[in-house]
Amino acid sequence: APSAASPLLVHLNPEQLAAVTLPAGHALILAGAGSGKTRVLTTRIAWLLQNGHARPGSILAVTFTNKAAKEMVARLSAMLPVHVRGMWIGTFHGLCNRLLRAHHQAAGLPQTFQILDTQDQLAAVKRLCKQHNVDDERFAPKDLAHFIANCKEQGLRPNDVQGQDSNTRKKIEIYQLYEEQCQREGVVDFGELMLRSYELLRDNDHLRAHYQRRFAHILVDEFQDTNQLQYAWLKQLAGNVVDGRYQAHGSVLAVGDDDQSIYAFRGARVGNMADFVREFGVQQQIKLEQNYRSYSHILDSANALISHNSSRLGKNLRTTQGPGEPVRVYEASSDLAEAQWMVDEIKQLLRSDGFEHREIAVLYRSNAQSRVIESALFNAGVPYRVYGGLRFFERAEIKHALAYLRLLENPQDDTSFARVVNFPPRGIGARSIEVLQDAARAAGCSLYDGVSAVPGKAGINLGAFVALVDGLRAQTRGLNLRSIIEQMLESTRLVAHFCTEKEGADRIENLQELINAAESFVTQEGFGRDAVALPLDEHGGAAPPKPPMPGIVDADTGETLSPLAAFLTHAALEAGDNQAQAGQNAVQLMTVHASKGLEFDGVFIGGMEEGLFPHENAASERDTLEEERRLMYVAITRARRRLYLSHSQTRMLHGQTRYNIRSRFFDELPEAALKWLTPKRQSFAALASHSGAGSAYSSSARQSFGFKSAGAESGVFAHLPVPPRKGAPAHGLAAGIAVFHTKFGEGKVLALEGSGTDERAQVHFARHGSKWLLLSVAKLTVV
């Protein structure tokens, strides 16, 4: 039996110890939040290496974000004096990139292929639509980009997609054109990274056999959020199907939590867990039931909430920590007041409770909520940092700079060409670009190569642009990365341009930061370590140590990628990450999605209102409502010591004031774990049953709150008492009554909320949908 004497293992509980020291074979750890899944996964790698069960080169670990990958590598280096370089630890995209770089010829890509992030992809689709005169009313570029990404996620090339109706056939045609465009330009989007490397493994027996032999240990964190293609990719690496049964070479360890599956909307398949158990004949299923993260008031809240979901695999979580402080609940009158309350509580935590800034997180359901909180923190002088939203590498000025750099590497990259051909402005108008696009299409070449075909003044200006880029390429040949970027910023007049702009100072600062980012990319192991792809080794053994600054090595030619190309890859992958790098000591603001896998001493969850959390798009279907609940479960379980929940009566969102009622999720939390800082008012559930007494409007009222008339959800409030109906109010409005509004026309009242000047009604208008109206303002007349 494994002994816990090793310093690696002393702090593990018996189930964790069993998982870390599992014999070879496939295993699934299915366990709730904070039970140590990620810790077990990391410790297992260390244990395998320490005990000679594996060499670094035989380990492949998939994490959810680049940040998590870096942390894992850092922890392993701290635990063991091993050469971490040989391990493949990264996100799916990062690992696919590595594979494709190493075998770009077999994959049919140029070695310097560039990666399109989501923004670039959309820009590329837009450009394509314009060129081919696609009606963007009927086929919105955004939808098309979605369609393409979806197809790729299901492993479908244009030929594989079934097109029954003319709409779908048109989309398939655009997908086909888009593929050709990307191939011509030498660029791949995120979906393509995954699909192309899957196909590479699938179609090359020799290569597949090599990697299967090599990666004796495959470990996957957050397995519940893998999609179909990612799972198929893992299977290619793990083994072959022989006679319908899986013959795996190595051992696959998957860890996950079905209750934290929050990416179904993007194609994640929680069913991969069951498939994994079946297809791999998993013998070892381990449950971890002890939560090490949170006090019991927090954990009880999470457990109670998630118990309202019906589709669960079923797990328990307990903690030996005490109850801790109750979960504080606050009702604000406005989003501004909510933010102010958060700031007051945060200051209190910092001052009296000794919390560190970075140990406090404010979580929200949608990015738009951050602005108000940011300005409250800013005004109070509390340092903060926003994750997600526009990340560094997605900022316009950074994208412009990167586009120039990409053109140096690959002039065929039309997306980059189009982005900067007239930026900073150099007199090349939309019309000239159209002429160029037509010329390039007619000649079947890139925009860059098509310039010479454009006549007149436009041709002269375009020629000057090409000369600029060509000149820059010649000037920077052989320079180090920092000098290349400095030279580029100067020659292109990017910095000079922003000097003249009103808000240019920030942008110039960011461009400066780009130089720093490049610098640290080169000096940190970042470039050397993460980017190395080991050359094929016939025996599957560890490759010899690399010389300093190795770069990415082409497995066939031994050619290495330039630091510039490697940096551009890094930038594109970072832009696709859900989380940013660890920052200064600041309060952390992020969406709930981005908080997955993280933990903080204090957590605030704002905007807990119907329509926001659960999100209005999600509230009408049981499956999506359950996903919202899992999202809430993720949010709650990020907290170690303190949890704060808040909602607001009014909120400015997308330029409109909305009157919101408290989220139904409050009614699913155990009263004993909560402390209401403001009086608890009529609940969502009571309101819903209030209007649901079997009258004609009940079903529509329920639908507008997202309830199906029957099913698991109705049980949630079935036991709650129906509040007694008071005498009819003076205005004569009640649910079900037909009203007239001067702007919106005729409608029907669905619900009433609040009292006095705060009283508001939810009214369904035939032509304008449901709205919440403040009665003291909206002039409603009873019809």
Return residues touching ligand ATP (CB under 6 A): 11-13, 16, 31, 33-39, 257, 260, 292-293, 597, 599, 637
> Is 267 assigned to a binding site?
no
DSSP 455: -
Q: What minimum distance in Å lies between the beta carbon of 38 and Mg ion?
A: 3
Of 38, 43, 290, 569, catalytic: 38
List the Cα angle 379/397/406 in 5-degree steps. Answer: 150
Q: What minimum distance in Å lies between the beta carbon of 189 and ligand ATP?
A: 28
Q: What minimum distance in Å lies between the beta carbon of 262 and ligand ATP?
A: 11
Tell me how far apart the alpha carbons of residues 411 and 415 are, in angstroms, rounded to a whole number.
10
Q: And the tokens for 490?
A: 């100067």
For 554-620, where are the E strands, in sequence order?
Answer: 587-591, 600-605
Tell me how far apart the alpha carbons of residues 451 and 460 are, in angstroms, rounded to a whole number.
9
Among Mg ion, ligand ATP, none, what binds residue 305 when CB lies within 5 to 8 Å by partner kind?
none
Among Mg ion, ligand ATP, none, what binds residue 34 when CB lies within 5 to 8 Å by partner kind?
ligand ATP
DSSP 527: I
Tell me how far apart the alpha carbons of residues 88 and 54 are, in angstroms, rounded to a whole number.
13
Nearer to Mg ion, 37 or 93 (CB): 37
> Is 34 assigned to a binding site?
yes
Of 15, 120, 222, 335, catalytic: 222
DSSP 723: P
Q: And the tokens for 49?
A: 């290496």
Nearer to ligand ATP, 42 or 649 (CB): 42
Q: Is 637 in the site for Mg ion (CB under 5 A)?
A: no
SS3 354: coil
Residues 6+ positions from 338 with CB-CB distance below 8 Å: 330, 332, 372, 606, 607, 646, 647, 648
Helix (H) or strand (E) holding 640: strand 639-653
Residue sitting closest to Mg ion (CB): 38
Q: What minimum distance in Å lies between the beta carbon of 255 and ligand ATP?
A: 7
How far is C-alpha 236 from the geometric centre of its chain's CA atoms? 25
> Is 31 assigned to a binding site?
yes
Among Mg ion, ligand ATP, none, what binds residue 111 when CB lies within 5 to 8 Å by partner kind?
none
* Most distant pair of Cα atoms in the chain: their distance: 86
Nearer to ligand ATP, 39 or 83 (CB): 39
Among ligand ATP, Mg ion, none, what binds residue 607 when CB lies within 5 to 8 Å by partner kind?
none
Could you confirm whether 224 is annotated as catalytic?
A: no
Among Mg ion, ligand ATP, none, what binds residue 83 when CB lies within 5 to 8 Å by partner kind?
none
Cα within 13 Å of Cα(154), Cβ side:
12
Nearer to Mg ion, 291 or 369 (CB): 291
Among ligand ATP, Mg ion, none, what binds residue 84 when CB lies within 5 to 8 Å by partner kind?
none
Q: What minimum distance in Å lies between the beta carbon of 617 and ligand ATP?
A: 25
Tell me how far apart the alpha carbons of residues 191 and 151 are, in angstroms, rounded to a whole number.
9
> Is 754 assigned to a binding site?
no
Of 45-53, 540-548, 561-569, 593-601: span binding Mg ion (CB under 5 A): 593-601
Tell me how far apart the alpha carbons of residues 237 and 213 are, in angstroms, rounded to a whole number.
9
Could you confirm whether 588 is annotated as catalytic?
A: no
Could you confirm whether 579 is annotated as catalytic?
A: no
Among Mg ion, ligand ATP, none, what binds residue 293 when CB lies within 5 to 8 Å by partner kind?
ligand ATP
Determine the size of the site formed for Mg ion (CB under 5 A).
Answer: 3
Q: Which amino acid would we find at residue 745?
A: G
Among Mg ion, ligand ATP, none, what binds residue 257 when CB lies within 5 to 8 Å by partner kind?
ligand ATP
SS3 642: strand
In degrees rounded to 5, what are phi and psi of residue 361? -125, 140
> Is 36 assigned to a binding site?
yes
Of 21, 37, 65, 476, catalytic: 37
Q: What minimum distance in Å lies between the beta carbon of 17 and ligand ATP?
A: 9
> Is 429 assigned to a binding site?
no
Nearer to Mg ion, 290 or 410 (CB): 290
Task: Give the ranges where 524-582 is alpha helix by DSSP (H).
Answer: 525, 563-575
Of 34-42, 137-145, 398-406, 434-442: span binding Mg ion (CB under 5 A): 34-42
| Bridge partners, 762 (sequence order) | 751, 772
Note whether 365 and 629 are within 8 A (CB).
Answer: no
Tell me how far apart the alpha carbons of residues 256 and 37 are, in angstroms, rounded to a whole number.
7
Tell me how far apart the alpha carbons of residues 248 and 264 are, in angstroms, rounded to a whole number.
28
Among ligand ATP, Mg ion, none, what binds residue 651 when CB lies within 5 to 8 Å by partner kind?
none
Q: Is 38 in the site for Mg ion (CB under 5 A)?
A: yes
Nearer to Mg ion, 114 or 303 (CB): 303
Q: What minimum distance in Å lies between the beta carbon of 90 and ligand ATP?
A: 17
Helix (H) or strand (E) holding 753: strand 745-753
Nearer to ligand ATP, 360 or 484 (CB): 360
Of 29-37, 51-59, 265-273, 719-727: span binding Mg ion (CB under 5 A): 29-37
Q: What minimum distance in Å lies between the beta carbon of 288 and ligand ATP?
A: 7
Nearer to Mg ion, 96 or 598 (CB): 598
Could you confirm whether 171 is annotated as catalytic?
A: no
For Mg ion, the binding residues in 430-469 under the rule CB under 5 A are none
Q: Is 32 in the site for Mg ion (CB under 5 A)?
A: no
Question: Which of residues 597, 607, 692, 706 is near Mg ion by CB under 5 A?
Answer: 597
DSSP 479-521: --HHHHHHHHHHHTTHHHHHHTSTTHHHHHHHHHHHHHHHHHH
Of 185, 189, 221, 257, catalytic: 221
Could you confirm whether 642 is annotated as catalytic?
A: no
Q: What minimum distance in Å lies between the beta carbon of 370 and Mg ion?
A: 24
| Bridge partners, 332 (sequence order) | 648
Q: Is 65 in the site for Mg ion (CB under 5 A)?
A: no
Count other C-beta atoms under 10 Å from residue 63's C-beta.
26
Note whether 19 and 287 are within 8 A (CB).
Answer: no
Residue that has been written with the tokens 């209750």 in this structure:
259
Of 638, 651, 658, 702, catalytic: 638
Among ligand ATP, Mg ion, none, what binds residue 450 when CB lies within 5 to 8 Å by partner kind?
none
Could you tell me the CA-to-CA distances from 134 to 108, 123, 174, 619 in Å, in that order?
29, 14, 9, 34
Q: What minimum distance in Å lies between the beta carbon of 668 and ligand ATP?
A: 20
Count other C-beta atoms under 10 Å from residue 195's C-beta.
23
Of 108-116, 331-339, 505-513, 595-603: span binding Mg ion (CB under 5 A): 595-603
Nearer to ligand ATP, 257 or 577 (CB): 257
In degrees rounded to 5, what are phi and psi of residue 288? -115, 125
Tell me how far apart the alpha carbons of residues 370 and 303 are, in angstroms, rounded to a whole number.
27
Among ligand ATP, Mg ion, none, what binds residue 33 when CB lies within 5 to 8 Å by partner kind?
ligand ATP
Tell me how far apart the alpha carbons of residues 754 and 759 are, in angstroms, rounded to a whole number.
4
Note whether 731 and 775 are within 8 A (CB).
Answer: yes
Nearer to ligand ATP, 34 or 607 (CB): 34
> Is 126 assigned to a binding site?
no
Nearer to Mg ion, 91 or 410 (CB): 91
Tell me how far apart the alpha carbons of residues 581 and 626 are, in angstroms, rounded to a whole number.
30
Q: Which amino acid would we find at residue 357?
A: H
In the annotated binding site for ATP, the residues are 31-38
Q: Enumerate the active-site residues.
A: 37-38, 221-222, 260, 638
In the annotated binding site, the residues are 31-38
* Residues of this chain that bind Mg ion (CB under 5 A): 37-38, 597
